[in-house]
Amino acid sequence: MVGSSDRGETRPCDSHCGCRCLDHIIIVMPETNTPNVFHGKVIALDGPAGSGKSTTARLLARRLGFEYLDTGATYRAAALLAQRMNVSLDDDQQVERMLNQFHLHFVAETDKNRVILNDEDITAAIRSGEIDRLVTPVAGHSGIRRFLAAWQRERAAQGNVVLEGRDTGTVVCPDADVKIYLDASLDTRARRRQLDFERTGQTATLEDITNDIIRRDKADTERAHGPLKRADDAIVVDTSGMTIEEQVEKVCQVCLQRLSKKL
């Protein structure tokens, strides 16, 4: 939880708020040299596939010294487990058995979070094209959504967390201290996805990626449970044409302004 950035220094609380707990994050703003103490704060960052949410959320969390919770990875992990256990999503008992064996945690590393399911590192396995497809029905299953939303809420309750997903500001944590909705044009999102694929050694045409994004947008926005939807009180940031550094800077400024008002 200790780090530094061009926004200032972050470190666990010592005596600034008098309680000496280890959960507070102090951000010393370089402009004013004033310490801001953040305790129990939740930032919810939602948006469609390819809007740059994951990278932004991870870098934002690192800058603020917050935990990063990638809720999409929880749905992907559930899809992988369902695939391996050959679960039929129409069979409640099979789904329940699967959820009883769902023991997930994240290990924070400098440039990514490793995802561990039942002691196995599934970080790479959940990013395959097959899981991209299988995750859609899993994310549309009401029982699985209820289970994962509760799992996510429990982690968010530990405070100083950046939650990233589709429904974190509407369903998981409607009382989040800051809600951001990241968006970008379809073309921007498809090109970003293609770069992600290239980085991981996968190939796909821009047309296929665009069609896959359209399919996922439709599934995400039209599902009955936890659809992708901008919370009324979310701040919209359109990242089309922004570099990743610019969008992280923008989102970080918005968050610090909002959080500072809530001290």
Q: How many residues bind ligand DC (CB under 6 A)?
A: 15
- Give min distance, CB of 229 to ligand DC, in A: 11
CA–CA dist 189, 240 (Å, integer): 8
Q: For the segment 171-210, give every residue that binds ligand DC (CB under 6 A).
A: none
- Give min distance, CB of 260 to ligand DC, in A: 27
CA–CA dist 141, 254 (Å, integer): 34
Identify residue 203 by its one-letter amino acid code.
T
Q: For the segment 213-232, give every residue that binds ligand DC (CB under 6 A).
A: 216, 220, 226
Stretch that binds ligand DC, among 2-10, 111-119, 163-171, 205-213 (CB under 6 A): 163-171
Q: Which of 99, 135, 156, 190 binds ligand DC (CB under 6 A)?
A: 135
Q: Which of 36, 136, 185, 240 binds ligand DC (CB under 6 A)?
A: 136
Q: For the segment 85-124, give every residue that binds ligand DC (CB under 6 A).
A: none
- Give min distance, CB of 151 to ligand DC, in A: 11
Question: Listing from the earlier edge strand, what are the strands of the sheet with 42-46?
Answer: 67-70, 161-165, 42-46, 178-183, 235-238
Q: What is the largest CA-CA distance in the chain?
A: 58
67 binds ligand DC (CB under 6 A): no
Contacts of 247 (CB under 8 A, 6+ apart): 52, 56, 182, 237, 239
Helices in 52-185 by DSSP H: which ranges? 53-64, 71-84, 92-100, 129-139, 142-156
Contact yes or no for 134/141 (Cβ under 8 A): no
- Give min distance, CB of 11 to ligand DC, in A: 30
Residues that bind ligand DC (CB under 6 A): 49, 71-72, 75-76, 135-136, 139, 165-168, 216, 220, 226
